[in-house]
Structure 1
Amino acid sequence: RAAAAADMERLPLIQRIVSEALRLYPPAAFLSRAAQAHDRLCGREVRPGDTVMLPIYALHRHHLLWTNPDAFDPDRFLTPPDRYAFLPFGAGPRICIGAGFAMQEAVIILATLLSRFRFTAIAGRAPEPRMILTLRPHGGVWLNVARR
């Protein structure tokens, strides 16, 4: 059967897989904010109104925050990451209003697909991440799909 919201508690592995995919390939690969007050950031002056860019893609792969940061390892989410080390939906007052719904839908859809189909990579067709406002796979994602 198709997974549903009531199944979320029984899908912790799928939840970790979705989180790890969002860590490696955050849809919004960077955030920008206007500074509200004078400050110093990494030794640089930041004045009110300056734009500060936060590269989420780089943050999610930073070796000081993540062990083996370029590897796909859903088990790294067995314990919650540091509050500002994992920001696939942003943070603070401008966090994505649909973050919880998006996570729930992604888990339900992935669980449903995996229960019905087997997916294997196509040799030579690895997705290439490209930043075009959002991070997306250039040329799409090519997979062989077979019924279970």
Structure 2
Amino acid sequence: MTSPIAIAIKRLPHGAGLPHPAYATDGAAGMDVVAAEDMTLAPGQRAAIATGFAVAIPAGYEIQVRPRSGLALKFGITCLNSPGTIDSDYRGEIKVILANLGQEPFAVVRGERIAQLVPAPVQRATLDEVESLDDTARGHGGFGSTGR
């Protein structure tokens, strides 16, 4: 297991009384994050849900926003743009883009877990323009080209 990174967190006024993101178990990869507002998502609706905090992520890292599997399975609630990326230079409120893919309205309740946050290292790249690329067995085969 690698050493944890330190992430500064600032509670916003509408986040008063809410828990910070936290790991539910010792083996959890993501920290559960809770909603800082109440909202009902109709089937097919999406919204950016407030969490009531902002963070300062160290350079060289990001935080990925991922859905909670229980909400996805039981209610069809997922995070759009998943995994979403929170960049290290962003200092605004963390919001979670939730979408209701289910058949019934879903009540987002302040203080209830809505997503998970996973800190991750970022590998930067440089792009080198070339005239041709090396050949592979797959070649130009795209979507579905490797079978079911």
The TM-score bracket by the shorter chain reads under 0.3
Larger Rg: 2
Structure 2 length normalisation: TM-score? 0.22
- Which protein has the bigger strand share? 2
Structure 1 length normalisation: TM-score? 0.22
